[in-house]
């Protein structure tokens, strides 16, 4: 169906302005418009949820889980299946009704809170002018910008809250902030300053959420250990696991034990190879491929299966569409989906398919890369690092992290890493690291020069390391010989950026381009308050940083 749409939530948005017919990511206008309706419903849920909280009423955990999950489903490259969004919208209507009834008669209800979604998908996708991002033409541009910044920060935080939920952890403070913040996006009394402060509050809450997730993951799977991961192919049937969900990886490892199937991680699942409770499975053999945007090429005609547990999924080519399985929040029309039933997932269909496909015919010559440098590992060597800094062996730290993406200009990160002097350390995390994690950048003071902290949520690890270093040197984080060079693509990076800014971290360089949803005025505030800058060239930026 070919309706109009508007989406500018990610870095690859059309022309740096907005996708208007279909998404550069492959999102159809149908899905984009359904996502707008869902987000609009969630704003109403936020409003009524907050009113419940103000009255001292408790909100059922299932409702908060729904808010988190459905919000996450709208993040870039997660769910492309229209029918799943219709289900979410219907459920959102019921929840809003429940919260409205619970709170009783109240005054000053914004019209948006009482929005009622149409019944059918056909009608829902015609709601662009009522609920779309640009539907209120009279809205002040800076207010819209800050509201959208908040919404995208929420999408990013929802991803982490979802992962923590799956591992049995949630935090009421985090959950409750969803209601407050979502409700605030339809509150016309809020000023630019109020909304700015709410964005900073989101940053702090996202940090709390990443901390919660870190605790959930390390309690379940242990602390990541320095590990040399195989990055070449091994002979035999295989399943590649992508996304961020280690619980899915663990369940699949259990169900494939002794079945003659090799399991590879892909993209953001790479750090899985470093967790004791995952690496103990001998058939978790290594990592396949690079970052998400290479998947259509790297999965083309592949003689094995792929399990997508979260973002980033791309529309598959016909050559592997029958062997790409989705689970959890991920959806792709025409691809098999594995549902959780009574708390368990049955991976039999993907296992059988992998065996039928037969896998690779021979081993490739082995190559390995080092991973497993999350906060526990780095901080257990804090004394060696501090001595190396004091002795002048380590002169500077760079945090080069964030998302990878398809647009040109991202070679900057490869070149930057290559050009960093040999007496510097690079901390990295998320999928942007695939731009340089296979380069031979050497070692320093007994450490690899590239210390891979893990997934994007392991920004928490990098922050913990930075704070510990600042304490050891008795200075502020901004006074450390540390520079942050970030790449963004989707909305988790938005949440992480807000987390860093909420800590007062200055002089972050951001690329490859700046978000389309940030207006010049808001950018000016970020520049003045935090010294946020766009990346330029590796040479110029290194010169500016190191002098």
C-beta of 231: minimal distance to ligand SF4 in Å?
A: 29
User: Pick from ligand SF4, ligand SF3, none: which does 19 bind, CB < 5 to 8 A by kind?
Assistant: ligand SF4
Q: Is 201 in the site for ligand SF3 (CB under 6 A)?
A: no
Shortest distance (Å) from residue 500 CB to ligand SF3: 15
Close Cβ partners of 353 (under 8 Å, ≥ 6 residues apart): 305, 322, 323, 325
Q: Out of ligand SF3, ligand SF4, none, which partner does residue 25 contact, by CB within 5 to 8 A per kind?
A: ligand SF4
Nearer to ligand SF3, 103 or 231 (CB): 231
Closest approach, Cβ 37 to ligand SF4, in A, equals: 15
From the list ligand SF3, ligand SF4, none, pick the one residue 13 interacts with, judged by a Cβ distance below 5 to 8 Å according to partner type.
ligand SF4
Q: Which does 28 bind (CB under 5 to 8 A by kind): ligand SF4, ligand SF3, none?
A: none
Site string for ligand SF3, 244-283 (x = CB under 6 A): x----------------------xx---------------
Residue 430 interacting with ligand SF3 (CB under 6 A): yes
455 binds ligand SF3 (CB under 6 A): yes
The yes or no reply on residue 311 touching ligand SF3 (CB under 6 A) is yes
Contacted by 10, from ligand SF3, ligand SF4, none: CB < 5 to 8 Å by type: ligand SF4
In the bound state with ligand SF3, the residue whose beta carbon lies nearer, of 237 and 432, is 432
Options 71, 403, 518, 542; binder of ligand SF3; rule CB under 6 A: 403
Residue 202 φ/ψ, nearest 5 degrees: -60, -40
- Using the minimum distance from each CB to ligand SF3, give the nearer residue, 202 or 431: 431
**Side-chain half-sphere exposure of 142, counting CA atoms within 13 A:** 14
Residues of this chain that interact with ligand SF4 (CB under 6 A) are 7-10, 12-13, 19, 23-25, 27, 32, 76
In 174-288, where do the E strands start and end?
A: 227-230, 238-242, 262-265, 284-287
Instruction: Quote the CA–CA distance of 263 and 233 in Å, as a whole number.
Output: 11
241 or 312, CB closer to ligand SF4? 312
Strands 262-265 and 284-287: parallel
Residue (51 or 84) nearer to ligand SF4, CB: 84
Q: Count the site residues for ligand SF3 by CB under 6 A.
A: 16
C-alpha 20/C-alpha 4 separation (Å) is: 6
Write down how long the chain is.
547
Calpha distance 482→399 (Å, rounded): 7
Please report the beta strands in 360-456, taking only residues with DSSP state E, as ranges in sequence order: 368-371, 396-402, 424-429, 443-444, 447-448, 450-454
Q: In the range 85-124, which residues lie near ligand SF3 by CB under 6 A?
A: none
| 3-class SS of residue 547 | coil
Residue 441 binds ligand SF3 (CB under 6 A): no
> Cβ 494 to ligand SF4, closest distance in Å?
12
328 binds, among ligand SF4, ligand SF3, none (CB under 5 to 8 A by kind): none
Other Cβ atoms closer than 10 A to 361: 9
The answer to whether 492 and 206 are in contact (CB under 8 A) is no
Reading phi first (left if > 0) and then psi (alpha if -120 to 50, else beta), residue 301 is in left
Nearer to ligand SF3, 247 or 492 (CB): 492
CA gyration radius, the chain: 23
DSSP letters of 146-190?
A: HHHHHHHHHHHHHHHHHHHHHTT---HHHHHHHHHHHHHTT-TT-
Contact between 312 and ligand SF3 per CB under 6 A: yes
Ranges within 478-507 binding ligand SF3 (CB under 6 A): 489-490, 492-493
- 318 contacts: CB under 8 Å, gap ≥ 6: none
Which residue, among 363, 226, 222, has the nearest Cα to 285 in the 3D structure?
Answer: 363
Residue nearest ligand SF4, CB atom distance: 23
State the Cα–Cα distance between residues 150 and 263, nearest whole angstrom.
38
Q: Which is nearer to ligand SF3, 185 or 293 (CB)?
A: 293
Site for ligand SF3, rule CB under 6 A: 77, 244, 267-268, 292, 311-312, 403, 430-431, 455-456, 489-490, 492-493
């Amino acid at each position: 169906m070919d309706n109009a749409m508007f989406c500018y939530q990610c870095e690859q948005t059309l022309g740096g302005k907005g996708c208007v017919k279909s998404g550069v990511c492959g999102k159809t206008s149908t899905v984009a418009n359904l996502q707008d309706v869902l987000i609009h419903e969630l704003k109403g849920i936020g409003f009524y949820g907050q009113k419940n909280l103000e009255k001292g009423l408790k909100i059922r955990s299932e409702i908060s889980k729904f808010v988190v999950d459905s919000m996450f489903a709208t993040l870039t490259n997660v769910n492309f299946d229209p029918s799943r969004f219709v289900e979410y919208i219907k459920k959102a209507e019921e929840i809003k009704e429940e919260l409205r009834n619970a709170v009783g008669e109240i005054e000053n209800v914004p019209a948006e809170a009482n929005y009622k979604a149409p019944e059918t998908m056909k009608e829902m996708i015609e709601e662009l002018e009522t609920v779309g991002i640009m539907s209120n033409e009279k809205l002040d541009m800076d207010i819209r910008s800050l509201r959208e910044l908040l919404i995208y920060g929420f999408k990013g935080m929802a991803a982490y809250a979802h992962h923590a939920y799956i591992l049995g952890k949630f935090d009421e403070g985090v959950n409750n902030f969803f209601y407050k913040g979502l409700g605030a996006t339809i509150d016309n009394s809020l000023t630019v300053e109020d909304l700015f402060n709410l964005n900073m509050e989101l940053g702090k809450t996202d940090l709390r959420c990443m901390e919660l997730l870190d605790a959930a993951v390390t309690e379940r799977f242990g602390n990541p250990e320095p590990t040399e991961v195989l990055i070449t192919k091994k002979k035999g049937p295989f399943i590649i696991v992508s996304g961020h969900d280690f619980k899915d990886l663990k369940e699949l490892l259990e169900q494939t034990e002794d079945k003659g199937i090799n399991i590879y991680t892909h993209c953001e699942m790479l750090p899985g190879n470093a967790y004791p409770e995952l690496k103990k499975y001998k058939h978790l053999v290594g990592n396949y491929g690079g970052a998400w945007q290479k998947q259509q090429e790297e999965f083309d005609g592949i003689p094995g299966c792929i399990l997508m547990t979260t973002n980033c999924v791309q529309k598959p080519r016909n050559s592997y569409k029958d062997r790409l399985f989705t689970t959890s929040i991920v959806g792709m029309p025409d691809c098999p989906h594995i549902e959780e039933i009574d708390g368990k997932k049955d991976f039999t269909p993907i296992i059988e398919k992998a065996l039928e496909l037969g896998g690779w015919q021979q081993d490739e010559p082995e190559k390995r890369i080092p991973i497993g440098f999350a906060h526990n590992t780095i901080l257990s060597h804090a004394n060696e690092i501090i001595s190396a800094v004091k002795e002048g062996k380590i002169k500077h730290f760079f945090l080069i992290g964030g998302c990878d993406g398809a647009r040109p200009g991202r070679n900057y990160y490869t070149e930057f890493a290559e050009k960093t002097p040999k007496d510097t350390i690079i901390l990295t995390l998320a999928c942007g690291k695939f731009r340089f994690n296979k380069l031979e950048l050497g070692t320093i003071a007994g450490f690899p020069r590239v210390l891979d902290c893990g997934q994007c949520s392991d920004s928490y690890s990098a922050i913990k390391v930075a704070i510990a270093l600042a304490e050891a040197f008795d200075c502020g984080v901004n006074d450390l010989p540390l520079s942050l060079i970030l790449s963004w693509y989707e909305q988790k990076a938005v949440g992480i950026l807000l987390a860093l800014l909420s800590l007062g971290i200055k002089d972050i360089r951001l690329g490859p381009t700046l978000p389309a949803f940030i207006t010049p005025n808001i950018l000016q505030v970020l520049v003045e308050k935090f010294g946020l800058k766009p990346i330029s060239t590796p040479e110029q930026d290194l010169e500016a940083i190191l002098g």
